[in-house]
Amino acid sequence: MTVPARPLAAVLLVLALSACSAQAGPAGTGPATAAPTAMDDGAASEEAGPGPDAITAPAAQDSAEATSPAPEPPATAPHSDPAAADVVVNKQRPLQPATFEPADLRPPDVPATSPGVLLGPDTAAAVERMFAAAREDGVGLVIASGYRSYAEQDVTYRHWLDHYGSSADADVVSARPGYSEHQTGLAFDIAQEDGSCTLVACFAGTAAAQWAAEHAAEYGIILRYPLGYHTVTGFFAEPWHFRYVGTDVALGMREAGQLTLEEYFGLPGASSY
């Protein structure tokens, strides 16, 4: 599977951005906000301590092992196919295989905060429709991040591991490689055209975030890490992180009043690794 070449600068940018956000870096590079800023795929700074209330780990990941001796067994458990729009990736559900690369990645034809943003084809098409509708409503959306490869996530995670010297601390600011929803090509981060609160908590108050939260489902897209559901999703609120799931699931969730994929699909929560 061929992935378009990405310039070194893009890799370094990812490294600098930790998981999703440059603003929330723990090395003092970000704004001194009192409230911890949610980190994409790395969760918020208090994410390190969900321990005692951690939800029981699911056993679903093991179901393929009994039938296949292959080092990387095919994903047969429900919602485990990383190429499917209904895949669920979280801290208890790594991509299978961990180094999965989506097919047919392409840049969506929408404004971006930096070049090189790639998405899976269905996700890219949905993003284009969603952003166009926002524009018609007078809301300027920009895409800030899309697909990230296993290798890019590995570089990022190792950077923070070296920086802190322990996985406990690195896990606070970066997803482990193979556990990032961005690796599916189905997840992306948005920003507001004027740059307000890009990838920081106050983004929730922007017109872009509010428009997207209200209308995303119409395009098969959901807000993946809603406020108050970190014990289910493993991440504190990320009002910029959206995920393509298809209209059946997105509208079904809306109709059912469910805010997380885990709950909608009846899967265990995943507050920690």
What is the rounded distance in angstroms from the CA atom of residue 144 to the CA atom of residue 152? 16
| Token digits of residue 85 | 């729009």
Decide: is 152 part of the binding site for Zn ion (CB under 5 A).
no
> Is the Cβ of residue 101 or residue 238 nearer to Zn ion in the bound state?
238
Strand partners, 141: 192
> Is the Cβ of residue 170 or residue 175 nearer to Zn ion in the bound state?
175
Instruction: Single out the residue of 268, 273, 271 nearest to residue 88, CA to CA.
Output: 268
Peptide bond into 226 cis (omega under 30): no
Give the interface segment with Zn ion, choosing from 12-20, 25-33, 56-64, 90-98 (CB under 5 A): 12-20
What is the rounded distance in angstroms from the CA atom of residue 172 to the CA atom of residue 49? 9
Distance of closest approach, residue 145 Cβ to Zn ion, in angstroms: 6
Distance of closest approach, residue 42 Cβ to Zn ion, in angstroms: 10
Decide: is 47 part of the binding site for Zn ion (CB under 5 A).
no
Count of residues near Zn ion by CB under 5 A = 4
- Work out whether strand 187-192 and strand 241-244 pair parallel, antiparallel, or are unpaired: antiparallel
164-174 as b/e: b if 16+ CB within 10 A: beeeeebbbbb
Decide: is 241 part of the binding site for Zn ion (CB under 5 A).
yes
Distance of closest approach, residue 225 Cβ to Zn ion, in angstroms: 8
Sole binder of Zn ion in the list 17, 40, 139, 142 (CB under 5 A): 40
> Is the Cβ of residue 20 or residue 237 nearer to Zn ion in the bound state?
20
Decide: is 20 part of the binding site for Zn ion (CB under 5 A).
yes
Contacts with 223 (C-beta within 8 Å, 6 or more apart), sequence order: 212, 213, 216, 239, 241, 242, 259
Q: Contact letters (x/-) for Zn ion, 210-229, by CB under 5 A?
A: --------------------
How many angstroms separate the first and last alpha carbons of the chain? 29
Type of residue numbered 9: A
Q: Contact letters (x/-) for Zn ion, 173-192, by CB under 5 A?
A: ----------------x---
Distance of closest approach, residue 13 Cβ to Zn ion, in angstroms: 14
Decide: is 243 part of the binding site for Zn ion (CB under 5 A).
no
The site for Zn ion (CB under 5 A) is made up of: 20, 40, 189, 241
